[in-house]
Amino acid sequence: MLNFPAWKVVLILIVLVWGALMALPNAFSDGFLGVAPREPQSDAPQDIAAYEQQLGAAEDSWWPSFLPTGKVNLGLDLQGGVYLLTQIDPEEVAANRLETLQTDIVQALNRDPLIERNVPEQQGTTLPIQLRNAEDMDDALRRLRRINPTVGATGGQKVLSIEQTAPERILVSVSEDAQQALAADAQSTMITIIRRRLDPDGVSEISITPQGDTRIVIEAPGEADPRRIKNILSQAGRLTFNMANTDQSSINAAQATRPPPGFELLEDQLGRLILVNRTPVVTGSDIATASQGRDPDDNSPAVDFRLNGTGAERFGQTTASNRGRIFAIVLDGTVMSAPRINEPIWGGNVQITGDFELEEAQDLADIIEAGELPAKLNFIEERTVGPGLGADSIRAGTNASLIGLALVGVFMIIAYGLIGGFAVGSLLFNIVLILGALSGLGATLTLPGIAGIVLTIGMAVDANVIVFERIREEQQNGRSPTTAVIAGYERALSSILDANITTFIAAAILYLLGSGPVKGFAVTLAIGIVTSVFTAFVVTRWFTAMWLRAARPRKLSI
C-alpha cells in the first residue's frame, strides 16, 4: 500500500499535470490564450468558413496549439441568456403538408375531369373527394397513388392514405404514423430554418438542438429578452405573390355572402380587406435572396428580395398579362402590400415597403430568406437569466466555494494535524482536477453545479477520514506508524468504494433524468466523486508514504 514504484508515481503525476493543464485556461481572461476553435455548427459554407478562420487565429496565437485553451462552459444561469423549449404539433405539420399537396391532387383529378370543378374542402388532416361517376373510381385511385409522395427524401413511408369510403367517394388523409414521421422530418428542417433565421451569419453562439421527435431547444447565451427570438420564430414565414382584387363592390359582396370559388378575403397591415386569389403566382421557394433595403421614396427601411430564374420568369409573364390589375404580397395570411401592375416586372427584383423599424426589416428579410417553417412553433417553456443575475450568481458561487473550502481545510487540520494537511493538499488537487475534467469534457457548469463542487469538497474528505480513523485504531492496537497506515488503507478501501458508488448511482440517475441546471449538478457531483476517490485514496496516500519515509516518525499524532 505504501509502495510507490516509479511507474505509479509517473502515472499520478501525469494525471495531476494533465488536470492542471486542462484547468489552466480558466485562470486567464478571455482571448488571452487565443480562442479555441468551435466545431462548425453545420455544413453550411459560412459555418465552415467561420471555423477555418478560428483555426487560423488559433495557429497565430503565442500559446502552443497542443495545449488546451478551452474554458469551462458556463450554463445559461451563470452567463445569462435565453432558454426556449418549443413544440411542433404533428397534426399541424400534416395539415400544412396536405394543403400544399392539394394543388397536385386537384390537378391530377381535373385532367379529363373526374371531379366537379369546385375544389374539395380540406378538413384538418383529411380531404374528402367526391367523384362524378362511380366508374371512375379505379382511375382516380391510380392517379392519386401516382402523386403520393414519401416522407423525407427517398423510400420509406407514404404521406397520404387513400381510401375508398363509398362507391364514388375517396378519403385522402394523413395517418397517425405518417404524422409522426412528418413531424420528425419537419424537426430537422425546422432546426436548419431556425438557425438561418436567428443566426444568418453563423457567428453567434446560439445552440439549437432537437429533443425527442417533436421538440426543439433554443439556447441563446447573452440574449436578455426572449421576445425578439419568439417574434422571429413565431412567424411561419410563408410568403406568396397572388393576384388580387381591391374592387370595393366585389369585397362587399364577398363579405356579405362568401368569396367566389378560389378566392379568399385577407386583411392588410392596416386591417383593410382585400380579395386574394388562393393560387399563388410565386411562393417562398422561388425567392433567391432577401435583404434589408431602403424605400427610394422616403428612405425608410424596406425589404428587398430577388426571385430565382423560374420565379422571375413566371412573375414576369403574369405581370405582363395582367397590366393594370392588382397583385398582393402575402406573408402568413396578411397582405404586406398590394401594388398595381403598371408595367411588367422582368428582373425579379421586388421590394416590400411598410411601416418598418430598421430591426424589423432586417428580421423580416432573415425570415423570408430562411424559408417557410413547415409548421408553427409553439413555445412551451421559457427561462431567461439577465447578465446581472448571472454575474451575481458566479460571484456568490465562487464565494461559497472558497469559504466552504477554507472551513473544511481548517477543520481537517485542526482535527488531524499534519496528516490532515496532506488531505487538504489533495483536496486542492481535487478541485483542480474537477475544473480540468469539466473543461476537458466540455461539460457545462451551472449554479447547482457549483453547489455540487462545494458538496464534493465536504464529502471528499470522507475517504480521508475513513482511512485516518482506521489508522488511529490500528495504532491504538499497538502497530507501528507504517504498518498502521498500511492496514488503515487496506481496510478502508471497501468501505470507501461502497460509499462512493452509492452516491455515484444517485448522480448518474440525476444526469439521465434531470434537465438543465440540475444536470449540471449531476455532472459535477459525478466528476467530483471520481476525482475525490483518486485524490483521497491515491494522492494523499502517496504524500503520506513520502513523509513516512522521510520523517520516520515514531508515533503518528492522529
Partner 1 sequence: MLLQYWPKSTNVPFMSYRLPALLFSAILIAASFALIFTKGLNFGIDFAGGSVIEIEQPEGVQEEDVREVMSSLDLGEVGVNAARGTGVEGVEVIVIRFATQQAEEGMDQDTAQQQANDRVRAALNEAFSGVNVRSSAAVGPKVSGELLRSGLMALGVALLLMMAYISVRFQWKYALGAVAALFHDVIITMGMFALTQFEFNLSTIAALLTIVGYSMNDTVIVFDRVREEARKYKKMEADKVINLAVNQTMSRTLLTSGTTLLALLSIYLFGGTVLSGMSFALIFGIVIGTYSSVFVASAVLLLLGLEQGEKQRKEVEGFQGV
Q: Dihedral (C-alpha) 185, 191, 192, 193: value to the nearest 10 degrees?
A: 100
Residues 36-95 that bind partner 1 (CB under 8 A): 77, 85, 87
Based on the shown chain and the rule CB under 8 A, indicate whether residue 472 belongs to the binding site for partner 1: yes
Polymer length of the chain = 558
Decide whether 27 or 396 has the Cβ nearer to partner 1: 396
Residues 6-25 that bind partner 1 (CB under 8 A): none
Place of cell 484547468: 23
The span of 195-203, 312-320, 453-461, 481-489 binding partner 1 (CB under 8 A) equals 453-461
Q: How far is the CB of 75 from partner 1 (least distance, A)?
A: 12
Q: How far is the CB of 29 from partner 1 (least distance, A)?
A: 21
The span of 51-59, 60-68, 95-103, 503-511 binding partner 1 (CB under 8 A) equals 503-511
Residue 273 phi/psi, 5° resolution? -90, 140
Residues 483-502 that bind partner 1 (CB under 8 A): 493-495, 497-502
Decide whether 98 or 450 has the Cβ nearer to partner 1: 450
DSSP 8-state secondary structure symbol assigned to residue 158: B
Contact 242, 281 (CB under 8 A): yes
The residue type found at 17 is V
Based on the shown chain and the rule CB under 8 A, indicate whether residue 526 belongs to the binding site for partner 1: no
Decide whether 302 or 450 has the Cβ nearer to partner 1: 450
Decide whether 348 or 448 has the Cβ nearer to partner 1: 448
Give the one residue of 267, 506, 551, 553 binding partner 1; rule: CB under 8 A: 506
The rounded distance, in Å, linking the Cα atoms of 353 and 295 is 6
Based on the shown chain and the rule CB under 8 A, indicate whether residue 156 belongs to the binding site for partner 1: no
Based on the shown chain and the rule CB under 8 A, indicate whether residue 469 belongs to the binding site for partner 1: yes
The number of residues that bind partner 1 (CB under 8 A) is 84
The span of 251-259, 295-303, 331-339, 454-462 binding partner 1 (CB under 8 A) equals 454-462
The span of 14-22, 273-281, 326-334, 516-524 binding partner 1 (CB under 8 A) equals 516-524
Distant-in-sequence, close-in-space partners of 370: CB < 8 Å, separation ≥ 6: 193, 194, 196, 197, 200, 237
Q: Report the b/e string of 238-276 with b at 16+ CB within 10 A.
A: bbbbbbbbbeeeebeebeeeebeeebbebebeeeebbbb
Give the one residue of 181, 451, 471, 484 binding partner 1; rule: CB under 8 A: 451
Based on the shown chain and the rule CB under 8 A, indicate whether residue 378 belongs to the binding site for partner 1: yes
**Residue 372: CA atoms inside 13 Å, Cβ hemisphere, count?**
18
Decide whether 77 or 366 has the Cβ nearer to partner 1: 77
Decide whether 243 or 486 has the Cβ nearer to partner 1: 486
Strands (E), 389-513: 444-445
Based on the shown chain and the rule CB under 8 A, indicate whether residue 319 belongs to the binding site for partner 1: no
Residues 202-241 that bind partner 1 (CB under 8 A): 224-227, 230
Q: How far is the CB of 540 from partner 1 (least distance, A)?
A: 15
Q: How far is the CB of 265 from partner 1 (least distance, A)?
A: 18
Based on the shown chain and the rule CB under 8 A, indicate whether residue 517 belongs to the binding site for partner 1: yes
Q: How far is the CB of 305 from partner 1 (least distance, A)?
A: 28
Based on the shown chain and the rule CB under 8 A, indicate whether residue 558 belongs to the binding site for partner 1: yes
Decide whether 25 or 390 has the Cβ nearer to partner 1: 390
The rounded distance, in Å, linking the Cα atoms of 471 and 458 is 21
> What is the residue-wise DSSP string for 211-275?
ETTTEEEEEEET---HHHHHHHHHS---EEEEEEE--HHHHHHHHHS-PPTTEEEEEETTS-EEE
Residues 382-441 that bind partner 1 (CB under 8 A): 382-386, 388-389, 392-393, 395-397, 399-401, 403-404, 407-408, 411-417, 420
Contact 539, 16 (CB under 8 A): yes
Distant-in-sequence, close-in-space partners of 375: CB < 8 Å, separation ≥ 6: 88, 89, 92, 93, 96, 183, 186, 190, 236
In 3D space, the residue among 328, 244, 330 whose CA is nearest the CA of residue 284 turns out to be 330
